[in-house]
Amino acid sequence: MQITDTAALVTGGASGLGGATAKALAAKGARVFALDLGGSIEKAETVEGVTYVEADVTDPEQVQAAVDTAAGSGVPLRTVVNCAGIGPSARILSKKGRHDLALYAKVIQINLIGTFNVLTIAAEAIAATEPLADDARGVIINTASIAAFDGQIGQVAYSSSKGGVVGLTLPAARDLSTSGIRVLTIAPGIVDTPMLATVSDEFRATLSAGIPFPKRLARPDEYAQLALSLIDHDYLNGEVVRMDGALRMAPR
């Protein structure tokens, strides 16, 4: 699908995977609307072709307003990439007691329900656009994690949320097939994002050593590169693609 002269919506678009994807889409000629929380937007670098929109992915009204902005930009909304998410760690039982239910619910609310909220509202706008070849109208890419398959100790909430994203991929693609909207999911491994900014070089080396090849952390621009490849390939649909250097996570 052609990206030039279309609108694209990227959640978590102020930094990390979303920031790299927003930048890559803009470089390809898309009019990009990067959704994120206000504090994150304040720290974002200015990128030509990217408009930052403050929105909480769990809030239907804020997402609707952001989608309306993108859909009303003068070019058709064709692309959505869901990157917003959080990844706290907690065991079901620990020295501090049992897993906090509110924390579990928060992770599900942001990572899974937030993804579904953006997907459904954006799909409605994409479905209203003029069809392209083969009655195609657009593509929605969600972000899971290899933790959906290989969840580690302390990742019960995170793995649950990302497993949900994996699980919605195929039925969402089938649901939206009559509207000409493809749905795909990327499941990254260990990516060098702001979430890892505080860890030591020694810990980074330990993480890298466990990856079969290449023995390094993935880069956000590699996620963006994969997202653009999925957008470009019109026959890819309903699929989850791992981007992990053949890593299979150990229990801890």
**Whether residue 235 lies in the annotated active site:** no
Catalytic residue among 52, 104, 158, 223: 158
Per the DSSP assignment, residues forming a β-bridge with 33 are 9, 51
**Contact (Cβ atoms closer than 8 angstroms) between residue 82 and residue 34:** no
The token pair that represents 55 in the structure block: 């929105």
Strand partners, 99: none
Spatial distance between the Cα atoms of 152 and 155, rounded to a whole number of angstroms: 5
Give a three-class secondary structure readout of the chain: CCCCCCEEEEECCCCHHHHHHHHHHHHCCCEEEEEECHHHHHHCCCCCCEEEEECCCCCHHHHHHHHHHHHCCCCCEEEEEECCCCCCCECCEECCEECCHHHHHHHHHHHHHHHHHHHHHHHHHHHCCCCCHHHCCEEEEEECCCHHHHCCCCEHHHHHHHHHHHHHHHHHHHHCHHHCEEEEEEEECCECCHHHCCCCHHHHHHHHHCCCCCCCCECHHHHHHHHHHHHHCCCCCCCEEEECCCCCCCCC
List, by residue number, the catalytic residues.
158
